[in-house]
Amino acid sequence: MKRNSKFKNGIALFMLLALVLSNTNIVSASEVVDGASGEPQTADEQINNETYGDVGIYNTWNYYQSEQSTNCSAQSGGSLVSYTERHKTGEASGNVKTYPYYLYSKYTGSKTVEEIKSTWTVGCNLKNSASLGLSANVGAGTTTTVSASATTSESWQWIQASKYYSSTNGSKLVYSNSNFTIAPYKYSDSDSIYLINSSYLKLKGDNQPYSISSGC
């Protein structure tokens, strides 16, 4: 079941505004995953891959899904598609909950891609030193993880972790199929979890860059 994107975007905007107007502590971590130097698949292989670049590799009732797209100019043709899905409740093991996710940014046209990028951020209210870890597995690359933790305070703190994957090798698709974790999950507010995928595209011969975001 897909969440209503306008409703979700409204929730995200409300959460950001509430953070600005409150005294909630914000802790974040980020890491760059550079796709420019490696080419695990050609653009055609990625677009035609039966697993990646298609909506919903999990596609089951216990996953939230969000897809947004924006059209490129008439001269360039095609569109930039941003897709995100994540597990609704997480999979518990001991004091850790693991949330599998899948996301991508894809260009559907025929023009040469100068750069295509996904920047994704997961956020959650945590307390009592609980930690949030975000892993990424892009293309056929190695999984890497970045993490951030709450302080020892009993008050809720908005914790977030981010990654981005940028490709400048002509590929029309970038994606990540991995997970994020929360531990100990008893010190998390599961209703506050939000994963945002911000997609960016620059085409050769087109001075206008394109961007669109999806989230759930």
Residue type, 191: D
pLDDT at site 57: 56
User: pLDDT by residue (tens digit) across 104-155?
Assistant: 999 999 999 999 999 999 999 999 999 999 998 865 455 678 899 999 999 9
- 195-201-206 Cα angle (round to 5): 160
> What pLDDT does residue 47 have?
34
Q: In whole angstroms, give the CA distance from residue 80 to residue 148.
A: 31
Residue of 184, 149, 167, 127 lying closest to 36 (CA atoms)? 167
Q: What is the DSSP letter of 152?
A: S
Model confidence pLDDT, tens digit, residues 59-107: 577 899 999 999 999 999 999 999 999 999 999 999 999 999 999 999 9
pLDDT digits (tens, 9 = 90+) for 19-55: 333 333 445 455 444 333 333 333 333 333 334 455 5
Domain boundaries, the chain: 5-215
Residues 180, 62, 139: CA angle, nearest 5 degrees: 45
- Beta-carbon-side half-sphere exposure of residue 113 (alpha carbons within 13 Å): 29
Query: Distance between CA 126 and CA 123 in Å, rounded?
Result: 9
Adjacency order of strands within the sheet including 26-34: 26-34, 157-167, 113-126, 188-203, 210-215
